[in-house]
Amino acid sequence: MSVQFKSTRGDKTLITASQAIVKGISGDGGLYVPCAIPKIDFELKKILEMSYKELAYEVLKLIISDFTEEELKYCIEKAYDSKFDTDLIAPLKTAGGEHFLELFHGKTLAFKDMALSILPYLLKTAAKKNGVNEKIVILTATSGDTGKAALEGFADVDDTKIIVFFPEDGVSPVQKRQMVTQTGKNTCVAGIKGNFDDAQTAVKQIFTDKKLNEELKSKGYIFSSANSINIGRLAPQIVYYFFAYAQMVKNGEINFGEKINFTVPTGNFGDILAGYYAKEMGLPVDKLICASNDNKVLYDFFKTGIYNINREFVVTSSPSMDILISSNLERLLYHICENTETVKSLMENLGSDKKYDFKVSSDYVIGEYASHKETFDAIKELYDKSGYIIDTHTAVAFAAYKKYKDKTKDETKNVVVSTASPYKFAKDVCRAIDSKYDSLDPFEALDILSDLWKEDIPKTIKGIDKREILHKTVIEKSEIKTFIQNYLH
Ligand SMILES: *Cc1c(COP(=O)(O)O)cnc(C)c1O
């Protein structure tokens, strides 16, 4: 049975998964959602015997259902190989009695690799299936991690170009250095004077700019997206929720069939939405705890029913979550109300009034947040107790989970989704452990962290401060469109 996709904002056209992957976003500005979320068609217990790749096939075939078995298996084989530094791909670690799903074993040390290792293959296969002959230009707005993961995924992939915009002053020194040293003749990286929301809004406008799209089509280009607005980014993220569950059973933490919670450090709401899909598909999940940092729009929203971005944007130590407009929430709203007119008007309100009202009736997506201090304390406490080190984003989730548990006394087993290697945010992690590191050089911090953790610095960032800077452009946010036009001319 083939799953069809439609826009969250009312465009009635139904398209296949492969078409949705090529397009990225609907022409009416909406996001593509499956008309019905498929249920797993295999016996759940089988996941206990599956490797990551086998599981990826069983899950992805349900969503990306117009790919042939051969096509899908080819993409999976290419993606989850020795680029990852562990055969498990997504190992579950237990430290201090808590469980962490480590999603940072790919090339760029953040969970974005889980999807961006496969997206280029999905996209090329999808383009071929649909007879697309144009070159695909991947436009990406990044809060720090998507940019690098997309660059690694698409660098030197034939018939593609990739353009990345990142907030010049809103990413960690390691994140920035990873992006501006990117090689590959089809890569383009620019800093913008603005924040992630500015970059994402500009990029979304470009996708729906009919005139620009026609102009580029005549030059042989089409745009697509590597952000989690692309269903090809979202679908691969569902897999690791199943994989985490299997490991919890195999490690004897839970009985098969028992429900568990996941706490997810959230920015654009992509990761946690994949958890929502996993639950809807049949994974025994009880609560999904949506953890925010000091930019706690989502926490306020789940609590009050008012999504309000009329507020100060805070630059935090978890920059990949410094987001006020969480794009994928639009998909959750749609799945809850199943009414595209409602979603469309909410999104219009967000555009005009910077807020909207919508009471989420779901009792299993729960908002929580952690302040700067709570986040740093969580890193230190876990380190002192177990020697295990988590990054600042994972620490937001861990601290938020502890608050949730204190408030609710919920004893359900919980998995904290660990989204980045602490090396990407080495300086802040060291500072959290000991304030004597407050004025540490951000690259020196890599060595200090390695000593504290007794783990080697990952190869992909070792000596990164000595690599040549290849991308030096910084532009105003208003110049994004012209910049793209000039680059493609
Ligand atoms: C992107 C990112 C997040 C937020 O994930 P969303 O899917 O945008 O909610 C959290 N932590 C890290 C390290 C990230 O890179």
Does the beta carbon of 171 lie inside 6 Å of ligand 1? no
Q: How far is the CA of 421 from the centre of ligand 1 (A)?
A: 12
Q: Quick one: which atom of ligand 1 is closest to the CA of 266? A: 9
Ligand 1 centroid to 438 CA: how many Å? 25
Q: Which residues are catalytic?
A: 112
CB 336 within 8 A of CB 342: no
Q: How far is the CA of 460 from the centre of ligand 1 (A)?
A: 20
Residue 155: count of CB within 10 angstroms of its CB = 16
Task: Please tell me the distance from the alpha carbon of residue 422 to that of residue 29, in angstroms, as a whole number.
Answer: 35
Q: Which atom of ligand 1 is nearest to the CA of 274?
A: 7
- If one counts every other C-beta atom within 10 angstroms of the C-beta of residue 189, the result is 23
Phi, psi dihedral angles at 367 (to 5 degrees): -90, 140
How far is ligand 1, taken at its centre, from the CA of residue 265, in Å? 6
Number of H helices, E strands in the chain: 19, 15
CB-ligand 1 contact for 321 (6 Å cutoff): yes
- Residue 110 Cβ < 6 Å to ligand 1: yes
**148 touches ligand 1 (CB under 6 Å):** no
Q: Where are the beta strands (DSSP E) in 234-370?
A: 260-265, 285-292, 306-308, 355-357, 365-369
Beta bridge partners of 475: 192
Condensed to tens digits (0 to 9), the pLDDT of residues 231-287 reads: 999 999 999 999 999 999 999 999 999 999 999 999 999 999 999 999 999 999 999
What pLDDT does 383 receive?
Answer: 98
Q: For position 262, what pLDDT does the model report?
A: 98
Q: Can you give the pLDDT at residue 362? A: 67
Q: Determine if ligand 1 sits within 6 Å of the CB of residue 119.
A: no
**DSSP category for residue 358:** -
- Give the whole-angstrom CA distance, residue 256 versus residue 442: 44
Q: Note the pLDDT of residue 1.
A: 65
What letter represents residue 322's amino acid? D
**CA 470-476-481 angle, 5° bins:** 85
Q: Is 145 in the pocket of ligand 1 (CB under 6 A)?
A: yes
Q: Choose the residue to mutate in 140, 152, 238, 266 for probing ligand 1, maximizing ligand atoms within 8 Å of C-beta.
A: 266
Atom number in ligand 1 closest to CA 145: 15
- The answer to whether the beta carbons of residues 25 and 62 sit under 8 Å apart is no
The secondary structure of 423-471, three-state, reads HHHHHHHHHHHCHHHCCCCCCHHHHHHHHHHCCCCCCCCCCHHHCCCCC
Specify which residues 308 forms β-bridges with: 355
C-beta 269 within 6 A of ligand 1: yes
Q: Are 229 and 24 in contact (CB under 8 A)?
A: yes
pLDDT single digits (tens) 325-384: 999 999 999 999 999 999 999 999 999 999 999 988 767 999 999 999 999 999 999 999
For ligand 1, is residue 227 a contact (CB within 6 Å)?
Answer: no
Whether 423 and 133 have beta carbons less than 8 Å apart is answered as no
Give me the sign of the Cα torsion angle 261, 242, 358, 297.
positive
Instruction: For ligand 1, atom 2, name the residue with the nearest CA.
Output: 320
CA 215–ligand 1 middle distance (angstroms) = 33
248/242 Cα distance (integer angstroms) = 10
The letter for the amino acid at 86 is T
Mutate to test the pocket of ligand 1, among 107, 176, 241, 268 (most ligand atoms within 8 A of CB): 268
CA-nearest of 69, 74, 77, 72 to 53 is 77
Length of the chain: 489
Question: Over the stretch 178-194, which tens digit does the pLDDT of each residue have?
Answer: 999 999 999 999 999 99
State if residue 322 touches ligand 1 by the CB under 6 angstroms criterion. no
Strand partners, 474: 191
CA distance 350 to 339: 17
Residue 72 tokens read as 């899908």
Would you state the pLDDT for residue 363? 79
pLDDT for residue 270: 97
User: In this structure, what token pair is assigned to residue 416?
Assistant: 């904290």
Write out the two tokens for 210: 């009919």
Q: What residue ranges of the chain have pLDDT lower than 50?
A: none
